[in-house]
Structures are given as C-alpha cells and as structure tokens.
Structure 1
Amino acid sequence: MKLEMDREELKRLLLYGSQKGIDEIIEDIHPADILDVLHEIEAVDVIKILHRIPEWLIAEVIDEEDDEEKYALLVNFSEKKQKNILKEMSSDEIADLLGSLDEIESKRILDNMPVEEAEDVKQLLTYAPDTAGGIMATEYISIKENMTVKETLKYLQKVAPNAESAYYLYVVDEDEKLKGVVSLREIVVSPFDTIIIDVLNSNVISVHHDMDQEEVAHRFEKYGFLTMPVINDEKQMLGIVTVDDIIDVLRDETTEDIHRLGGVGESEKVNGTLFESVRSRLPWLFVNLLTAMLASATVSMFEGTISKVVILATFMPIVAGMGGNAGTQTLTIVVRGLALGELNFENAKKIFFKEIGVGLTNGLSVGICISIIGGLWSGKPVFGLVIGLAMILNMTVATTAGFLVPLTLKKLKIDPALASAVFVTTATDVLGFFFFLGLATVFIQYLI
C-alpha cells in the first residue's frame, strides 16, 4: 500500500478501509494528517475514525489539536479508554488540555490518572502558562556523572520510550541540581567503559521556570537546540522545553502580535462564531472612534480656513493617509524587532536616529512630489509648498511615533502590539491635519 497519500485517500482508508489495512499503515501516518481529516468530516465519522486507531495515536492526534478543542476529542471515549489515552500523553500536553477546562472537568481527568503523574501535572499548572514552566514537560532523562556509557545505554533502553526527548541526557547530582549535559551522539560513539563525567559538557544552557516563553524561543533560535532544561532558583532541574513546543509558541506569539496590531482580539479565529468576532473587534472600533473624533476636533479648529480654500478638503486625506502608512511601516518593524530581541534599549538610540533619517528622506521625496502635484492642481505654487511641508513634517512625526510609542509601552511593561497602532494613528491624523491646515492658515492670503 502507498505510504504517501493525499487527504481524500487517507479519509477513504480511515472511514472505509479494512481494519487490517489501517493497522498495516498506521505507524506511517502523521497525526496532523489525521487531524486534518477529522476537521473535514461529520461528528459521527470523527468518532468512527477515532475508534479505529490505536490509543497512542489518539494521544498524538489530541496533542496536535488546538488546546480549546482537545477535550472534545477525548470525551468520545469511555473513562477506561480515556485513562489509557492519558497514559500516552506527556505532562505538558495534559496541562495544556486542562488549561482550557473548568475545575470540575479538570478534576475528573486528574482523578483518571496515576497519582504520581497527576501530581506532575498539578505542579505544571502552578506555573504561568506563558512561561518556561508552563510549557515544559517533566518526562526527561537524567543520569549521574559516575555512570558508565554501558550503564547509560541499558538505562536508556528502559526509560527512553516514555521520555519526551532522548536527544540530550541531563546529568544531575543527588539533589537534582543540573551539572551538565551529554548528547546521545557522545553516548553512541564512546567506549562502553567511559565514565559520563569524561564526556560531560558542564556549560549547559538552561532557562529559569519564570522566563517568558518568548524569551525561551529566542534562546532556542540563538543556540539551535532541540531541547532545553528548565531549572529553579536552586539550579534544580524541573523539566525540559522541546523545539516542537517552541514552534507552537512562535506561532501563537506571532498570531497575537498580528491580531493586536490590527485591533482584533488575540483569541479570534477565522472559523469562530459571529458573536466571538463582534466581541473581539467592537471594543477596538470604539477606541478608534474616539481617536477619529479627536482628529475631527482638530479639523474643526480650521473650519474658517477650509471654507475659504475648499481645495484643502481634497488634499487632507492624502496628508493623513501617507503619515499613517509611514507610521505603520516603522511600527511594524519596531514591534517585530522587539519581539525577536533585535531591538533593545542598548541599540535603541542608533536605530532611532536611523528611523528619523528614513522619515525625513521619505518625507522629502513624497513631499516634493505632492508639492508639484498640488501646485499644478490648484494653480497656486504656495499651495504646493504648504502641502509639501505638511507631508515632510507628518511623515517625520509618523516614523518618530512609530518608533517611540512601542518602545515606551515596552518600558512600561505593556505589550507594544496591544496599543501602539492606536497611538500612532492618532498622532499622524491629528498632527497631519494640524500641520496642513495650520500652514494653510499662515499662508491664507496667498491661497485665496
């Protein structure tokens, strides 16, 4: 039977193929592909497929599902089978599952687990979900520095099947304090009588359990590890974070930033309900309404000028719009730079002056262009000068605001993606109108 099949072929196999045929190929099917099939079919067929695949694979399919939907898959089984499926899941996967449930449902699942494993999960739930402790798994392999390679290999044969990852073996002392790390490669290529301390790398990179998950992701990106140990204040090892967890973190953090920059709730999904979408977006629209009223109030200050030079109304949206675009460009780069750790308070001054230069250069380029267009359109060279100067000033302010606003929010320990767009848009609209209409008022005698 083919090991490579498209989604329709996989769906037909899981729904209508023989159990023998499924069993023969099941180990070669990725759980993510099965989950894709489950998302396309009716609930009754979901249950049919789940009851045709082994418990270890059900556990992996559940792990691939979004946290809010994991429980909906698990409840399709009897309590006895749920218990068996939970045995196949790692502690961090179960913690993710419980994090989306109420207290009663969480207790029922914990009661279905062995006492020791339930205690591990309860401990994980005490950590903030967006920290290293909140995303770590407790199923790691630790060894002692006085063990031989032969003893280690025998130990690996016993414990590796239940470990989250066996690529790195962490060396701890009697108090579980982290002493170093040994790669699986070192174990494989070393003679059997080699003592672990002789191949130990004591310069192990670890993360504290309180470290923000985004900072943990930066560590993985910097060092390129597959796993990283999590420690407490006493340097005792608590668990490990794996690269697959970090991929989820990066996806979630990026999605959150994009949603917040767009004024959308971070939990909204494209296939969510109408009510969820309205609840996510409406509050930010009211915030934008307030800022728009502030911009309108600025315009109202110059009603007399506009009534005398009507062409100002035609060009007002251009000044504000171009300023908004320039501010958004800088804001996007700065927020992403902060998220990736590329921009910090040490190099902020250098980058700030670069952005000022960008604003001035772009402002001059666009300003000269719109100045010529405005002069020809109105037939008055002074009008071209007014809109050109306003464009230069507003685009310079836009890049300045696009840099300073997110950096200030970061300093205040507020997510820069959350409110930056509102402040930057307000600055470019209000000041854009003020510069344009204010300059027009100053040169009013040459524009009438």
Structure 2
Amino acid sequence: MDQLKTDRKRNEYKKQIVKHLVSRNLRAFRETFLELHPADQVELFHEIEVAQQKQVLLFLSPAEFADLFEGLELEDQLTVFQGLSYQYAVSMFNNMSADDVADFLAEIEPERAKDILSSMDMEEAKRVEELMAYAPKTAGAIMTKEFVRLSVESTAKEVIEELRESAPDAETIYYLYVVDKDQRLAGVVSLRDLIIAVPEMTVDEIMSTQVVSVNENEDQEDVARLIQEYDFLAVPVVTPDKRLVGIITVDDVMDVLEEEITEDFGEFTASRGATDLSLTAFTAAKKRAPWLILLMFFGLITANIIGQFEQTLEQVVLLAAFMPMLMGTAGNTGTQSLAVAVRGIATGSFERGGVMKTVKRELGTGIMLGITCMIVLMGIISLFYKGNFLLAFIVGISLFFALSVAAVIGATVPIIINKLKIDPAVASGPFITTMNDIVSLLIYFTVATTLIDKL
C-alpha cells in the first residue's frame, strides 16, 4: 500500500513537471522539481522525452543539474554531455564531487578531458587530476577529496563554527579526521562526540587515536570488505607515510560492490562484459562467442570419452538414458560448491576458518548428497526397470562417486585459481559443469565396463 501511494505521488509530480515544461513555466517547474530527492529527479529525467530533458537543462543552473548528472549511469551521462554547451559543462563539473568528475573524464577522449580540466577551477581541476592519476579499482581511484580535516589545536567550538562554513561542500561530516602539522592522520572525531564535548575542549582531547585507514593503492574490493566488516560510514585513505589524502564513503562502496558483483556474475556465467542490457546484439554476441567456443572444445573432450566407451554402450544401450541425469546432477553439485568457495574467498571466510575446513565440509556434503541421491535413484530404477538391481547399482554408485568428486572440484578449483592471483570467479559455472561432465562420465563408464558382464 505504501509503495502504491509512493508511485501515485511520483506520477502526480511527473504530470505537474511535464505540464510546467510544456508551458515553459520556469518558476512552477523549479518549485516542483527542486523539491524532489536527487534520486527521484534522476528517475523522472529518464522518463520524460528528449525535448523535455533539454528544457530541464535550460531551467536548471549548472550547480543544480550537477546533482542530477552524478546520479545518471555512465551511458546516460555521455548522451547528456553531448547536448551540453561547453561553458555549462565546465561549470557543472566545478560543482560536482571530484571523484565523480574523475570517473566521467576517464571515459571520454583524453584530449577533450584535458581541455575541460584546463577550463575548470584550478583547485577543482587539481583534485580531479590527482584522482585520475591512481590506478583503476584502487582506494585512491574511488576516494573523494571533499572532506573536513581538523587540527589538534582547534577547540570544539571552533570546529562547529568551521563546519557551518565547510559542511555543505563536504561528502560527509559524521566522521572528522584529525591531522598533525605534516598532514599525517592522527585521529578521528565523530560528530556526536563533538556536539556533546565542552566547547573549550581541544580536538586533541576529544579525538580517538585508534583509526582504521586504508592505503591509497589498496584494492577497492578489500576496502569495501573493510567498511562492511566495521560498519563504517566512511574510511580515511592514506599514503604509505600516513598522510591523509581522501576518504571513501559507504555510497562509493555500494557502487564498488555492484560493479564487483556484476563482474563476478559475468565470470560465473562465462559472459564477462556481456551482461549490460544496453549492449547491442552484435556486441553481446562478440563478447560471449570466445567463451562458448572454448566451452565447445571442452565439450569435444566429453564426446571423445563417450566414443572411447562405445563398446560398453553397444552392449547395454540403456546406459545412455542415464547420462544426461548423471552429468546434470554432478554439474549442479559442483556449481553449488563453487558458489560456496567463491563467496568464502570474497568475504574472507577462508582466512578465518581455513581452506581445508571448507574443502572437508564440501566433501562431506557431496558424500551425503551422493548417498541420498543414490538410494532414491536405485529405488526408482528398480521400480521402473523390472527389478534390474544391477543396473540400479551401476547408476547409483556412479552417481555417488560423481557427486562426491564434483563437490570437491567445485570447492578446490576456485581456491587454486585464487592462489594463482586470478579472480576466482573465472572458475565459472559452465567451466565447473563441463569439468564435472568429464569426470562423471569417466566414473560412470568405468563402473559400467567393470560390471557389464554381470548385466
């Protein structure tokens, strides 16, 4: 019901705003549109026609449009940017967070980015250039330079007065970081501690010196994990000599997690780089094709194994009927173990619990699953194939060994890949499935060949 009310209210706002745009009622548009949360502004901007989007640009100042621009996806930012005048764009960038400007300029032509930076406010341009100098996917690349830094000599009263001036331009003021005369990180003061402190107390007396920080070159995924572990709203970024250079806020981490999950999902499904719905069919096919061709060659190994046991199949053709079930169940088991292992690596569970503990657990799980499926399957085969208990035993015992081995393969392959400093998500579902197809068929035909004379 609450969602319905929200949607209805949003639709009413949209109708009003479109009406004001069509009638070119500047005052009414601004009163209505600027009341909305930036996220709602972005959603509404997406829904209106291109001509109306251009009208929005005329009705909003560059500073007002900056918040909306920051909320757009990169593809939409590039489209909107093409329609902006040069001066409007430069002024807009001057009013955006330095990290958002750096992210955008990194996606356009270097010469054009350089031209924009040369026209921006010198201080803002310097911040952006510093961020663009960091390697992608590092703490330095995703940090923001808009934060409040305090001196140890300042009093609580002086800091509160300073916040009244600088807070509107800061990314967050819930954590205030303290630096010494050499700009090295010395401590942290929470806004709560500052408010309840005696006005004459100095920052040195209020601050906590137990500060968790990250190195500027640390991987963004490790930073996200740290913020998640400590439930921080922000974390300071320092150089190797502990100089404070920026902060990373929880909203930046959410973007990182979405990016990493999308990347891992692409690896997991052997469709890396092809999960974006905005890609054309040709581009998506071009990105997926190498993976499918590689998997096709793995499939040829499976076909070769079947060919090697052609005589066994000719003697008992019925064995072929159970091949898809055996391969599918083993593949599913391996994929489940793969998910457990990849998650363990991503969350750091392996470091806390130990690799062998996880592998042993997955082996135990595979054995128990194998026993359960074997008993169920042997009962079904015996029932439907007129008491052919030997056939039921061959298929059942093969399934037992296949699931036991599949669980171990699914757990160990990503661990080995991670040890080689490769993204464990590369051990994607299709690769694990294909590998387990090969192993399960080898087990199945070996057991069948050994016992075929008794069938």
Task: Give the TM-score, by structure 2 length.
Answer: 0.93
For residue 232 of structure 1, report the CA deviation from its aligned partner.
0.6
State the match for 2:405 in structure 1.
397
Q: Which moved more, 1:251-260 or 1:292-301?
A: 251-260
The reply on whether 1:436 has 2:439 as its aligned counterpart is no
Match of 1:352 among 348, 352, 359: 359
State the match for 1:41 in structure 2.
48
What is the CA–CA distance in structure 2 between the aligned matches of 1:51 and 1:342, rounded to whole Å?
Answer: 52
For residue 422 of structure 1, report the CA deviation from its aligned partner.
4.3
The reply on whether 1:264 has 2:278 as its aligned counterpart is no
State the match for 1:305 in structure 2.
312
CA distances 1:257-288 after superposition (whole Å, capped 9, x unpaired): 11211111235312321122112211111111
What is the CA–CA distance in structure 2 between the aligned matches of 1:153 and 1:445, rounded to whole Å?
Answer: 89
Q: Which moved more, 1:36-45 or 1:366-375?
A: 36-45
The reply on whether 1:363 has 2:370 as its aligned counterpart is yes
What is the CA–CA distance in structure 2 between the aligned matches of 1:412 and 1:129, rounded to whole Å?
Answer: 21
For residue 344 of structure 1, report the CA deviation from its aligned partner.
3.0
What is the CA–CA distance in structure 2 between the aligned matches of 1:310 and 1:392, rounded to whole Å?
Answer: 21
State the match for 1:424 in structure 2.
432
State the match for 2:110 in structure 1.
103
Q: How does 1:89-168 map to 2 (within 5 A)?
A: 89-168=96-175
For 1:15, give the aligned amino acid. Answer: V
Q: Which moved more, 1:196-205 or 1:77-86?
A: 77-86
Distance change >3 Å, CA 287–CA 345, structure 1 → 2: farther
For residue 364 of structure 1, report the CA deviation from its aligned partner.
0.6
Q: How does 1:210-221 map to 2 (within 5 A)?
A: 210-221=217-228
Contact 1:55-1:85 at 8 Å conserved across structures = yes
What is the CA–CA distance in structure 2 between the aligned matches of 1:415 and 1:233, rounded to whole Å?
Answer: 26
For residue 293 of structure 1, report the CA deviation from its aligned partner.
0.8
What is the CA–CA distance in structure 2 between the aligned matches of 1:3 and 1:86, rounded to whole Å?
Answer: 32
What is the CA–CA distance in structure 2 between the aligned matches of 1:280 and 1:127, rounded to whole Å?
Answer: 28
For 2:101, give the aligned amino acid. Answer: I
Distance change >3 Å, CA 152–CA 5, structure 1 → 2: farther
Q: In structure 1, the residue corresponding to 2:188 is in which secondary structure? A: strand
State the match for 1:79 in structure 2.
86
Match of 1:55 among 47, 62, 77: 62
Q: In structure 2, the residue corresponding to 1:228 is in which secondary structure? A: strand
Q: In structure 1, the residue corresponding to 2:261 is in which secondary structure? A: helix
Contact 1:207-1:231 at 8 Å conserved across structures = yes
Contact 2:332-2:433 at 8 Å conserved across structures = no
The reply on whether 1:415 has 2:418 as its aligned counterpart is no
What is the CA–CA distance in structure 1 between the aligned matches of 2:10 and 2:281, rounded to whole Å?
Answer: 29
Q: Which moved more, 1:14-23 or 1:275-284?
A: 14-23
What is the CA–CA distance in structure 2 between the aligned matches of 1:68 and 1:102, rounded to whole Å?
Answer: 15
For residue 217 of structure 1, report the CA deviation from its aligned partner.
0.8
Match of 1:385 among 380, 387, 393: 393
Q: Which moved more, 1:101-110 or 1:352-361?
A: 101-110
Contact 1:405-1:423 at 8 Å conserved across structures = no
The reply on whether 1:15 has 2:15 as its aligned counterpart is no
Structure 1 unaligned segments of length 5 or more: list them. none
State the match for 1:286 in structure 2.
293
For residue 9 of structure 1, report the CA deviation from its aligned partner.
2.6
Q: Which moved more, 1:339-348 or 1:101-110?
A: 339-348
For residue 407 of structure 1, report the CA deviation from its aligned partner.
0.5
Q: How does 1:125-274 map to 2 (within 5 A)?
A: 125-266=132-273, 268-274=275-281
What is the CA–CA distance in structure 1 between the aligned matches of 2:366 and 2:87, rounded to whole Å?
Answer: 65
What is the CA–CA distance in structure 2 between the aligned matches of 1:24 and 1:3, rounded to whole Å?
Answer: 19
Contact 1:268-1:280 at 8 Å conserved across structures = no
Structure 2 unaligned segments of length 5 or more: list them. none
Contact 2:269-2:428 at 8 Å conserved across structures = no
Distance change >3 Å, CA 123–CA 29, structure 1 → 2: same
Q: Which moved more, 1:112-121 or 1:219-228?
A: 112-121
Contact 2:295-2:431 at 8 Å conserved across structures = no
Contact 2:90-2:119 at 8 Å conserved across structures = yes
What is the CA–CA distance in structure 1 between the aligned matches of 2:12 and 2:27, rounded to whole Å?
Answer: 16
For 1:12, give the aligned amino acid. Answer: K
Contact 2:178-2:188 at 8 Å conserved across structures = yes
For residue 368 of structure 1, report the CA deviation from its aligned partner.
1.4
Contact 2:178-2:189 at 8 Å conserved across structures = yes
Q: Which moved more, 1:54-63 or 1:232-241?
A: 54-63
What is the CA–CA distance in structure 1 between the aligned matches of 2:6 and 2:86, rounded to whole Å?
Answer: 33
CA distances 1:380-430 after superposition (whole Å, capped 9, x unpaired): 211111111110111011100110001011111111112343442232101
Q: Which moved more, 1:267-276 or 1:115-124?
A: 267-276
What is the CA–CA distance in structure 2 between the aligned matches of 1:75 and 1:32, rounded to whole Å?
Answer: 22
What is the CA–CA distance in structure 2 between the aligned matches of 1:105 and 1:405, rounded to whole Å?
Answer: 45
For residue 83 of structure 1, report the CA deviation from its aligned partner.
2.0
Identity %: 34
Contact 1:75-1:82 at 8 Å conserved across structures = no
Equivalences, count: 446
For 1:418, give the aligned amino acid. Answer: V
What is the CA–CA distance in structure 1 between the aligned matches of 2:308 and 2:379, rounded to whole Å?
Answer: 27
CA distances 1:4-54 after superposition (whole Å, capped 9, x unpaired): 864433332332223222322334312222222333333222212233234
For 2:70, give the aligned amino acid. Answer: D
Q: In structure 1, the residue corresponding to 2:69 is in which secondary structure? A: helix
Distance change >3 Å, CA 325–CA 442, structure 1 → 2: same
Match of 1:342 among 346, 349, 363: 349
For residue 357 of structure 1, report the CA deviation from its aligned partner.
0.5
